[in-house]
Amino acid sequence: MPDELRLALAFALAFGAALVTVPLAIRVAWRTDFLDRPVGYKKHARPTPYLGGVAVMLAFLPASLLLGGGASQFGVIVLCALGLSLVGAVDDRVGLGPLPRVLAEIAAATALWSAGLAWFVSESETVNLLVAIVWVVGVVNAFNLMDNLDGAAGTVGAVSAAGAGALAAIEGDPVLAALALSLAGACAGFLPFNLDRPARIFLGDGGSMPVGFVVAAVVMGISEHAGLGQAAVVAAALFVGLPALDTALVVVSRTRRGAAVLSGARDHLTHRLLGPLRTPRAVALALGVIQALLCLVGLALFETPAAGVFVFGAMYFLLGSAAILVLDSSYSPDAAPGLAAPARQEPGP
Protein backbone atom coordinates (compact mmCIF):
# COMPACT_ATOMS: atom_id res chain seq x y z
CA MET A 1 0.00 0.00 0.00
CA PRO A 2 1.41 3.45 -0.87
CA ASP A 3 2.51 5.35 2.22
CA GLU A 4 0.32 8.34 1.44
CA LEU A 5 -2.77 6.11 1.19
CA ARG A 6 -1.87 4.32 4.42
CA LEU A 7 -1.64 7.60 6.32
CA ALA A 8 -4.85 9.02 4.88
CA LEU A 9 -6.74 5.81 5.65
CA ALA A 10 -5.39 5.72 9.21
CA PHE A 11 -6.75 9.19 9.95
CA ALA A 12 -10.05 8.68 8.11
CA LEU A 13 -10.80 5.26 9.62
CA ALA A 14 -10.18 6.46 13.17
CA PHE A 15 -12.15 9.67 12.56
CA GLY A 16 -15.14 7.74 11.22
CA ALA A 17 -14.95 5.20 14.02
CA ALA A 18 -15.00 7.99 16.63
CA LEU A 19 -18.23 9.35 15.14
CA VAL A 20 -19.74 5.96 16.05
CA THR A 21 -18.02 5.14 19.34
CA VAL A 22 -18.49 8.53 21.03
CA PRO A 23 -22.34 8.53 20.83
CA LEU A 24 -22.30 4.95 22.11
CA ALA A 25 -20.09 6.00 25.02
CA ILE A 26 -22.49 8.85 25.84
CA ARG A 27 -25.42 6.43 26.08
CA VAL A 28 -23.43 3.94 28.17
CA ALA A 29 -22.28 6.68 30.55
CA TRP A 30 -25.84 7.90 31.15
CA ARG A 31 -27.14 4.36 31.71
CA THR A 32 -24.36 3.47 34.14
CA ASP A 33 -24.27 6.87 35.89
CA PHE A 34 -20.67 7.36 34.76
CA LEU A 35 -21.01 11.12 35.03
CA ASP A 36 -18.92 14.11 36.02
CA ARG A 37 -20.96 16.22 38.39
CA PRO A 38 -20.27 19.94 38.93
CA VAL A 39 -18.88 20.49 42.42
CA GLY A 40 -16.41 22.93 43.95
CA TYR A 41 -14.42 24.90 41.38
CA LYS A 42 -16.02 22.92 38.52
CA LYS A 43 -18.27 25.20 36.52
CA HIS A 44 -20.18 23.11 33.99
CA ALA A 45 -23.92 23.45 34.41
CA ARG A 46 -25.05 19.82 34.54
CA PRO A 47 -23.72 16.28 35.01
CA THR A 48 -21.81 15.26 31.90
CA PRO A 49 -20.81 11.78 30.72
CA TYR A 50 -17.27 10.56 31.04
CA LEU A 51 -15.98 7.70 28.83
CA GLY A 52 -14.90 10.04 26.04
CA GLY A 53 -11.39 8.71 26.37
CA VAL A 54 -12.56 5.11 26.12
CA ALA A 55 -14.45 6.03 22.93
CA VAL A 56 -11.31 7.65 21.51
CA MET A 57 -9.26 4.54 22.26
CA LEU A 58 -11.89 2.27 20.70
CA ALA A 59 -11.75 4.42 17.57
CA PHE A 60 -7.94 4.44 17.63
CA LEU A 61 -7.65 0.66 18.02
CA PRO A 62 -8.84 -0.70 14.64
CA ALA A 63 -6.94 1.88 12.58
CA SER A 64 -3.76 1.39 14.61
CA LEU A 65 -3.95 -2.41 14.35
CA LEU A 66 -4.76 -2.48 10.64
CA LEU A 67 -2.46 0.30 9.47
CA GLY A 68 -0.09 1.03 12.36
CA GLY A 69 1.64 -1.00 15.02
CA GLY A 70 -0.46 -4.14 15.33
CA ALA A 71 2.05 -6.45 13.69
CA SER A 72 5.30 -4.75 14.59
CA GLN A 73 7.42 -3.71 17.53
CA PHE A 74 5.13 -0.70 17.83
CA GLY A 75 2.34 -2.93 19.09
CA VAL A 76 3.69 -2.24 22.58
CA ILE A 77 2.57 1.37 22.15
CA VAL A 78 -0.99 0.25 21.42
CA LEU A 79 -1.07 -2.19 24.34
CA CYS A 80 0.32 0.34 26.82
CA ALA A 81 -2.11 3.00 25.60
CA LEU A 82 -5.04 0.67 26.19
CA GLY A 83 -3.71 -0.17 29.65
CA LEU A 84 -3.39 3.49 30.58
CA SER A 85 -6.89 4.14 29.24
CA LEU A 86 -8.21 1.44 31.56
CA VAL A 87 -6.33 2.88 34.55
CA GLY A 88 -7.59 6.36 33.70
CA ALA A 89 -11.19 5.20 33.32
CA VAL A 90 -11.06 3.51 36.72
CA ASP A 91 -9.64 6.73 38.16
CA ASP A 92 -12.50 8.70 36.58
CA ARG A 93 -14.95 6.33 38.25
CA VAL A 94 -13.53 5.86 41.72
CA GLY A 95 -10.57 8.23 42.10
CA LEU A 96 -7.37 6.20 42.40
CA GLY A 97 -5.10 9.05 43.48
CA PRO A 98 -1.75 9.96 41.93
CA LEU A 99 0.38 6.94 42.95
CA PRO A 100 -1.37 4.17 40.95
CA ARG A 101 -1.45 6.39 37.87
CA VAL A 102 2.25 7.21 38.11
CA LEU A 103 3.15 3.55 38.66
CA ALA A 104 1.19 2.63 35.52
CA GLU A 105 3.00 5.36 33.59
CA ILE A 106 6.39 4.12 34.82
CA ALA A 107 5.47 0.58 33.74
CA ALA A 108 4.49 1.86 30.28
CA ALA A 109 7.76 3.80 29.94
CA THR A 110 9.72 0.73 30.97
CA ALA A 111 7.90 -1.33 28.33
CA LEU A 112 8.93 1.18 25.66
CA TRP A 113 12.54 1.02 26.85
CA SER A 114 12.47 -2.79 26.76
CA ALA A 115 11.13 -2.66 23.18
CA GLY A 116 13.95 -0.36 22.06
CA LEU A 117 11.68 2.68 21.73
CA ALA A 118 13.32 4.87 24.36
CA TRP A 119 15.73 7.79 24.05
CA PHE A 120 19.36 6.92 23.42
CA VAL A 121 21.14 9.75 25.21
CA SER A 122 23.82 7.75 27.03
CA GLU A 123 25.86 4.57 26.82
CA SER A 124 24.26 3.68 30.14
CA GLU A 125 20.93 1.90 29.67
CA THR A 126 19.98 2.88 33.20
CA VAL A 127 20.26 6.54 32.23
CA ASN A 128 18.25 5.92 29.06
CA LEU A 129 15.55 4.21 31.10
CA LEU A 130 15.38 7.06 33.60
CA VAL A 131 15.11 9.64 30.80
CA ALA A 132 12.33 7.61 29.19
CA ILE A 133 10.44 7.44 32.49
CA VAL A 134 10.76 11.19 33.11
CA TRP A 135 9.65 11.93 29.53
CA VAL A 136 6.62 9.62 29.57
CA VAL A 137 5.44 10.55 33.07
CA GLY A 138 5.94 14.24 32.34
CA VAL A 139 4.12 14.24 29.00
CA VAL A 140 1.24 12.05 30.18
CA ASN A 141 0.59 14.27 33.17
CA ALA A 142 0.96 17.43 31.09
CA PHE A 143 -1.84 16.22 28.80
CA ASN A 144 -3.77 15.12 31.87
CA LEU A 145 -3.55 18.65 33.27
CA MET A 146 -4.43 20.12 29.85
CA ASP A 147 -7.83 18.44 30.04
CA ASN A 148 -9.42 21.32 31.94
CA LEU A 149 -11.64 23.02 29.35
CA ASP A 150 -13.89 21.62 26.66
CA GLY A 151 -11.88 20.83 23.55
CA ALA A 152 -8.45 21.69 24.98
CA ALA A 153 -6.85 18.26 25.41
CA GLY A 154 -8.65 16.80 22.38
CA THR A 155 -7.51 19.59 20.08
CA VAL A 156 -3.92 19.68 21.30
CA GLY A 157 -3.81 15.88 21.27
CA ALA A 158 -5.01 15.75 17.65
CA VAL A 159 -2.49 18.36 16.51
CA SER A 160 0.42 16.92 18.49
CA ALA A 161 -0.33 13.41 17.19
CA ALA A 162 -0.53 14.72 13.62
CA GLY A 163 2.80 16.50 14.12
CA ALA A 164 4.35 13.32 15.52
CA GLY A 165 2.97 11.41 12.54
CA ALA A 166 4.50 13.93 10.14
CA LEU A 167 7.85 13.52 11.88
CA ALA A 168 7.65 9.73 11.57
CA ALA A 169 6.75 10.00 7.88
CA ILE A 170 9.62 12.39 7.18
CA GLU A 171 12.05 10.11 9.02
CA GLY A 172 10.93 7.17 6.88
CA ASP A 173 8.68 5.18 9.20
CA PRO A 174 5.15 5.08 7.68
CA VAL A 175 3.95 2.42 10.14
CA LEU A 176 4.67 4.58 13.16
CA ALA A 177 3.27 7.58 11.28
CA ALA A 178 0.02 5.70 10.66
CA LEU A 179 -0.25 4.86 14.34
CA ALA A 180 0.08 8.55 15.26
CA LEU A 181 -2.41 9.65 12.61
CA SER A 182 -4.87 7.06 13.88
CA LEU A 183 -4.79 8.84 17.21
CA ALA A 184 -5.13 12.24 15.50
CA GLY A 185 -8.21 11.05 13.64
CA ALA A 186 -9.81 9.58 16.77
CA CYS A 187 -9.27 12.83 18.69
CA ALA A 188 -10.67 14.86 15.79
CA GLY A 189 -13.79 12.67 15.69
CA PHE A 190 -14.30 13.21 19.42
CA LEU A 191 -14.17 17.00 19.27
CA PRO A 192 -17.63 17.76 17.78
CA PHE A 193 -19.26 16.10 20.80
CA ASN A 194 -16.91 17.64 23.35
CA LEU A 195 -17.19 21.13 21.83
CA ASP A 196 -20.97 21.03 21.57
CA ARG A 197 -22.67 23.57 23.83
CA PRO A 198 -23.08 22.26 26.42
CA ALA A 199 -20.48 19.52 26.05
CA ARG A 200 -22.07 16.11 25.53
CA ILE A 201 -19.09 14.16 26.87
CA PHE A 202 -15.72 14.70 28.56
CA LEU A 203 -12.41 13.06 27.69
CA GLY A 204 -11.45 12.17 31.26
CA ASP A 205 -8.28 10.53 32.52
CA GLY A 206 -9.24 7.51 30.41
CA GLY A 207 -8.44 9.64 27.37
CA SER A 208 -5.89 12.25 28.37
CA MET A 209 -3.47 9.64 29.75
CA PRO A 210 -3.28 7.38 26.66
CA VAL A 211 -3.34 10.37 24.27
CA GLY A 212 -0.32 11.87 26.02
CA PHE A 213 1.38 8.50 26.10
CA VAL A 214 1.00 7.78 22.38
CA VAL A 215 2.34 11.22 21.44
CA ALA A 216 5.28 10.76 23.82
CA ALA A 217 5.99 7.25 22.54
CA VAL A 218 5.86 8.12 18.84
CA VAL A 219 8.15 11.14 19.19
CA MET A 220 10.57 9.19 21.36
CA GLY A 221 10.47 6.11 19.13
CA ILE A 222 11.27 7.98 15.93
CA SER A 223 13.90 10.31 17.39
CA GLU A 224 16.67 7.71 17.24
CA HIS A 225 16.58 7.94 13.44
CA ALA A 226 17.24 11.68 13.45
CA GLY A 227 20.89 11.46 14.50
CA LEU A 228 20.61 14.34 16.96
CA GLY A 229 21.58 12.43 20.10
CA GLN A 230 20.71 14.34 23.25
CA ALA A 231 19.48 17.30 21.18
CA ALA A 232 16.54 15.15 20.02
CA VAL A 233 14.93 15.59 23.44
CA VAL A 234 15.01 19.37 23.00
CA ALA A 235 13.49 19.19 19.51
CA ALA A 236 10.85 16.71 20.67
CA ALA A 237 9.67 19.05 23.41
CA LEU A 238 8.07 21.28 20.76
CA PHE A 239 5.59 18.54 19.88
CA VAL A 240 4.19 18.80 23.42
CA GLY A 241 4.97 22.50 23.81
CA LEU A 242 1.57 23.75 24.98
CA PRO A 243 0.92 21.02 27.57
CA ALA A 244 4.45 21.60 28.90
CA LEU A 245 3.88 25.37 29.07
CA ASP A 246 0.54 24.91 30.82
CA THR A 247 2.05 22.60 33.42
CA ALA A 248 4.93 24.99 34.11
CA LEU A 249 2.51 27.92 34.33
CA VAL A 250 0.32 26.16 36.89
CA VAL A 251 3.28 25.08 39.03
CA VAL A 252 4.80 28.58 39.04
CA SER A 253 1.47 30.30 39.65
CA ARG A 254 0.41 28.10 42.54
CA THR A 255 3.84 28.17 44.13
CA ARG A 256 3.87 31.96 43.95
CA ARG A 257 0.41 32.16 45.55
CA GLY A 258 1.23 29.59 48.21
CA ALA A 259 -1.46 27.23 46.89
CA ALA A 260 -1.11 23.45 46.77
CA VAL A 261 0.33 22.49 43.38
CA LEU A 262 -2.00 19.49 43.03
CA SER A 263 -5.12 21.39 44.04
CA GLY A 264 -7.87 22.04 41.50
CA ALA A 265 -8.22 25.63 40.28
CA ARG A 266 -9.17 27.68 37.23
CA ASP A 267 -5.68 29.02 36.63
CA HIS A 268 -4.57 27.10 33.56
CA LEU A 269 -3.54 28.58 30.23
CA THR A 270 -7.00 27.75 28.89
CA HIS A 271 -8.74 29.73 31.63
CA ARG A 272 -6.47 32.71 31.02
CA LEU A 273 -7.36 32.62 27.32
CA LEU A 274 -11.06 32.18 27.99
CA GLY A 275 -11.56 35.79 29.09
CA PRO A 276 -10.35 37.50 25.90
CA LEU A 277 -11.49 34.72 23.53
CA ARG A 278 -14.85 34.22 25.30
CA THR A 279 -15.75 30.65 24.21
CA PRO A 280 -14.13 27.21 24.59
CA ARG A 281 -14.33 26.75 20.82
CA ALA A 282 -12.25 29.87 20.25
CA VAL A 283 -9.76 28.75 22.89
CA ALA A 284 -9.50 25.30 21.29
CA LEU A 285 -8.89 26.88 17.89
CA ALA A 286 -6.18 29.13 19.29
CA LEU A 287 -4.52 26.22 21.06
CA GLY A 288 -4.63 24.14 17.90
CA VAL A 289 -3.03 26.86 15.78
CA ILE A 290 -0.28 27.54 18.33
CA GLN A 291 0.50 23.84 18.79
CA ALA A 292 0.59 23.37 15.01
CA LEU A 293 3.16 26.15 14.73
CA LEU A 294 5.23 24.55 17.49
CA CYS A 295 5.10 21.21 15.67
CA LEU A 296 6.31 22.89 12.48
CA VAL A 297 9.23 24.36 14.40
CA GLY A 298 9.90 20.93 15.88
CA LEU A 299 9.98 19.38 12.41
CA ALA A 300 12.47 22.03 11.32
CA LEU A 301 14.66 21.38 14.37
CA PHE A 302 14.91 17.68 13.51
CA GLU A 303 16.61 18.81 10.28
CA THR A 304 18.94 21.19 12.15
CA PRO A 305 22.43 20.36 13.49
CA ALA A 306 22.51 19.53 17.19
CA ALA A 307 24.26 22.78 18.16
CA GLY A 308 21.48 24.80 16.54
CA VAL A 309 18.87 22.76 18.36
CA PHE A 310 20.44 23.54 21.74
CA VAL A 311 20.61 27.25 20.90
CA PHE A 312 16.95 27.28 19.96
CA GLY A 313 16.12 25.28 23.09
CA ALA A 314 17.70 27.98 25.24
CA MET A 315 15.73 30.66 23.39
CA TYR A 316 12.51 28.66 23.79
CA PHE A 317 13.12 28.28 27.52
CA LEU A 318 13.66 32.02 27.92
CA LEU A 319 10.58 32.91 25.86
CA GLY A 320 8.48 30.38 27.77
CA SER A 321 9.67 31.75 31.09
CA ALA A 322 8.84 35.29 29.99
CA ALA A 323 5.38 34.18 28.83
CA ILE A 324 4.71 32.54 32.19
CA LEU A 325 5.72 35.68 34.08
CA VAL A 326 3.52 37.88 31.89
CA LEU A 327 0.52 35.56 32.05
CA ASP A 328 0.74 35.07 35.80
CA SER A 329 1.39 38.69 36.73
CA SER A 330 -1.76 39.86 34.95
CA TYR A 331 -4.18 37.15 36.08
CA SER A 332 -6.32 36.53 39.15
CA PRO A 333 -7.87 33.06 39.53
CA ASP A 334 -10.76 34.58 41.47
CA ALA A 335 -11.71 36.53 38.36
CA ALA A 336 -11.65 33.53 36.03
CA PRO A 337 -14.65 33.23 33.71
CA GLY A 338 -17.32 30.83 34.85
CA LEU A 339 -17.64 28.78 31.69
CA ALA A 340 -17.54 25.02 31.62
CA ALA A 341 -14.39 23.20 32.52
CA PRO A 342 -14.30 19.40 32.66
CA ALA A 343 -15.03 18.64 36.25
CA ARG A 344 -13.02 16.24 38.32
CA GLN A 345 -10.35 16.40 40.94
CA GLU A 346 -7.35 17.81 39.13
CA PRO A 347 -4.80 15.12 38.32
CA GLY A 348 -1.20 15.50 39.24
CA PRO A 349 2.07 13.73 38.77
Check residues 161 and 335 and name the one with the higher pLDDT: 161
Strand partners, 35: 49
Domain ranges of the chain: 3-335
Say if residue 336's pLDDT is above 60: no
At 230-281, the pLDDT tens digits run 888 889 999 999 999 999 998 888 888 777 777 767 788 998 898 889 899 9
Chain centre to alpha carbon of residue 265:
20
Instruction: Mark residue 278 as left, alpha or beta (left: phi above 0; alpha: psi -120 to 50; beta: remaining).
Output: left
- Between CA 223 and CA 314 the distance in angstroms is 20
- Among 232, 238, 228, CA closest to 317: 238
- Which ranges in 224-305 belong to alpha helices (H)? 231-236, 241-257, 269-277, 280-301
The average confidence (pLDDT) of the chain is 87
Say if residue 326's pLDDT is above 80: yes
